[in-house]
């Protein structure tokens, strides 16, 4: 069994690792990895796309938020579709008050087994605004997709031009995951704003 770790780090304490982020949630994510199994190609129905994948387990208190993210963000739906189609993957999301690592907002502990099963504990600090959760989850879920796709982050980081960066502690950051988190947060917020603007005011009722 192999273990690896993701770590979401605040921009304030790790500015050298990340680019500037939108105010919705200033963080980036580090990701330690090895090659992984590929995703299965099973199709999903339209109804499935509006539900959290059965291989993702989360606290009841954030399930309404995850449902909102599925409704509001096409990028998050894409991520969940690929996760749903990887039956040997198991993700458990946990909310924690603090971390041993002061700089972290989220940590994912990854265990891989010889027969291909992957278990991920995704630990997220609380409290966070909804849009911050959206960014963190979108970011971390994209790292999961990188593993499903079997990306060799070590080899990519060695090129220096791939958008993959190795930290001194052996973990990795990817531009792809940072951007995915920002996109999910942006889609989440824009949907809310468009819904609010479309709702009739009291004077119009």
Confidence of residue 204 (pLDDT cuts 50, 70, 90): low
Most confident of 119-133, 162-176, 178-192: 178-192
Choice between 9 and 19, residue whose per-residue pLDDT is larger? 9
Beta strands of 77-196 (E only): which ranges?
89-96, 104-112, 118-125, 164-166, 172-174
Look at the alpha carbons of 121, 66, 144, 165 in this order and tell me if their dihedral is positive or negative. negative
pLDDT digits (tens, 9 = 90+) for 32-74: 433 333 333 344 444 456 789 999 999 999 999 999 999 999 9
Lowest mean pLDDT among 17-31, 33-47, 124-138, 158-172: 17-31
110 and 34 in contact (C-beta within 8 Å)?
A: no
Choice between 97 and 107, residue whose per-residue pLDDT is larger? 97
132 and 28 in contact (C-beta within 8 Å)?
A: no
Lowest mean pLDDT among 28-37, 40-49, 119-128, 144-153: 28-37
Q: Give the pTM.
A: 0.73
**Which residues are 177's β-sheet partners?**
none
Position 7 pLDDT exceeds 80: no
Mean pLDDT of all residues in 172-192? 90
Confidence of residue 173 (pLDDT cuts 50, 70, 90): confident
Closest CA to 187 of 59, 54, 79: 79
pLDDT value at residue 92:
96
Peptide bond connecting 164 to the previous residue in cis, omega within 30 degrees of 0 = no
User: What whole-number distance in Å separates Cα of residue 190 and Cα of residue 55?
Assistant: 28
DSSP string, 38-89: PPP-----TTGGGS--TTEE--GGGHHHHHHHHHH-HHHHHHHHHHHT-TTE
Choice between 23 and 93, residue whose per-residue pLDDT is larger? 93
Choice between 47 and 146, residue whose per-residue pLDDT is larger? 146
Q: What mean pLDDT, rounded, does the chain reach?
A: 74
């Amino acid at each position: 069994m192999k273990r690896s770790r993701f770590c979401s780090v605040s921009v304030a304490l790790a500015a050298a690792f990340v680019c500037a982020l939108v105010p919705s949630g200033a963080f980036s994510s580090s990701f330690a990895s090895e090659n992984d199994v590929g995703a299965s190609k099973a199709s999903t129905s339209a109804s499935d796309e509006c539900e959290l994948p059965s291989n993702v387990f989360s606290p009841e208190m954030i399930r309404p938020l995850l449902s909102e993210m599925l409704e509001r963000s096409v990028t998050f739906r894409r991520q969940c579709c690929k996760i749903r189609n990887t039956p040997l993957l198991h993700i458990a999301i946990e909310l924690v008050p603090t971390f041993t690592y002061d700089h972290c907002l989220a940590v994912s502990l990854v265990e891989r087994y010889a027969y291909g099963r992957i278990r991920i504990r995704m630990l997220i600090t609380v409290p966070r605004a909804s849009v911050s959760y959206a960014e963190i989850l979108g970011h971390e879920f994209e790292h999961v997709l990188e593993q499903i796709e079997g990306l060799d982050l070590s080899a990519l980081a060695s090129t220096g031009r791939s958008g993959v960066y190795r930290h001194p502690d052996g973990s990795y950051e990817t531009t792809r995951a940072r951007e995915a988190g920002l996109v999910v947060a942006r889609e989440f917020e824009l949907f809310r704003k468009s819904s609010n603007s479309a709702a009739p005011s009291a004077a119009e009722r």
